[in-house]
Amino acid sequence: MSKEPHTVRIACHAMATRFEFILHGSDPRSLRAAGEEAMEEIRRLERELGFRQSGSEIRFLNDRAAETAVRVSPMLFQLLERAVKLSRDASGAFDITIAPLMRCWGLANGTGHFPSAQDIDDAKAKVGMDQIVLDRDACTVGFRNPGVMLDLGSIGKGYALDIAAEWLREAGVTSALIHGGTSTSFAIGAPPDDAAWKIAIIRPEDGTGSAQDPSVENPARILSHVTLADGESLSVSAVWGKSFRHEGRTYGHVIDPRSGWPVQGALLAAVVLPSAADSDALSTALLTLGEAGHQALQTSHPGLRSLVALPSGESYSVHSNGIELVPE
């Protein structure tokens, strides 16, 4: 006879957000041990990939790659190659060189401000995936111009969840939901009492906190219930995170790397894929691309499920591809 399933919750703060694991199994001690090891791996990745982490590979790269090609770890090189491909799939709407524009708009480490047109042009000159020179044989990375900076904030959290899921599976965990900041979730197996995990996407008008939440039950607040099967990830990007107002208009924290301006054409975007790194990156891209991104991303990622909420007068309209909406 099998033992009664136990639930273990573990949380930590890393990558400027809160990671949480909800683990199910028959042995709570082994669950906790596996969870702690996976959390430590997330902390290690933060030390290597953190944009502001002193001593991180990214910090070292940003300081030197415009002067000379920098040899990096195989892990980082493969992640940068993946980011290049995802940017190409998203027609440039996802871009890890966005940091100069984030600084230009005061969103890198502040509350935001409205820059001059010249400031935007100067920042755009340092942005673009073509600024990165990758040498696979030498495992080196270089920048074409001074001032180029890499920021993995739009893919690093998802990548950390992918790695954590591998650790948990290798430790024998067969039922878990793990998330980073409630914006990206990854499913292992299924919950003990259901066939799949169920995540609520919060309606844009209620978007003052988390974009997704597995605990919300009030139908009035829920835009969609997304079911995640084993090995699937959901990422939700929204414009209501950091924002500021200028001359009566609100500007959000997601910048379109192609125009250099904060995204205005969408309020919220959600993507479901087998990889948390991919869903993390492409939910940001879909927020930037808007409705047209559905078909474009479906072409490059068959099986992708997506949803985007677009402003419409004083309300919004929702366009979905494989994600069911909760009736109003």
Amino acid in position 287: L
Q: Give Cα separations from 185 to 111, 181, 254, 295 (angstroms).
A: 27, 9, 20, 23
What's the whole-number mean pLDDT along residues 123-132? 97
Q: What is the mean pLDDT of residues 100-105?
A: 94
pLDDT in tens, 52-87: 888 899 999 999 999 999 999 999 999 999 999 999
DSSP for 169-196? HHTT--EEEEEETTTEEEEES--TTSSS
Task: Provide the pLDDT confidence category of residue 209 given band limits of 50, 70 and 90.
Answer: very low
* Residue 314 contacts residue 300 (beta carbons within 8 Å): no
Give the pLDDT score at 234: 96
Q: Which tens digit of pLDDT belongs to each residue from 254-280?
A: 999 999 999 988 999 999 999 999 999
Q: What is the pLDDT of residue 1?
A: 41
Give mean pLDDT, residues 199-220.
68
Residue 237, pLDDT > 70, answer yes
Residue 82's φ and ψ, nearest 5 degrees, are: -65, -40
Q: What is the pLDDT of residue 44?
A: 95
Residues 272-328 have pLDDT tens digits of: 999 999 999 999 999 999 988 888 898 999 999 999 999 888 789 999 999 988 876
DSSP assignments along 194-251, one per residue: SSSEEEEEEPGGG-SS-SEETT---GGGEEEEEEE-TT-EEEEEETTSSEEEETTEEE
Predicted pLDDT of residue 236:
94
Predicted local confidence at residue 208, as pLDDT: 47
Domains along the sequence of the chain with CATH: 57-143 (1.10.3980.10), 191-321 (3.10.520.10)
pLDDT for 132-188, tens place per residue? 999 999 999 999 999 999 999 999 999 999 999 999 999 999 999 999 987 899 999
Q: Which tens digits make up the pLDDT trace of 2-17?
A: 467 899 999 999 998 9
Q: Residue 139, exposed/middle/buried by CB under 10 A (0-12, 13-18, 19+)?
A: middle
Tokens of 323: 């994600």
Provide mean pLDDT across the span 235-248. 80
The arithmetic mean of pLDDT across residues 186-215, rounded, is 79
Quote the pTM value: 0.93
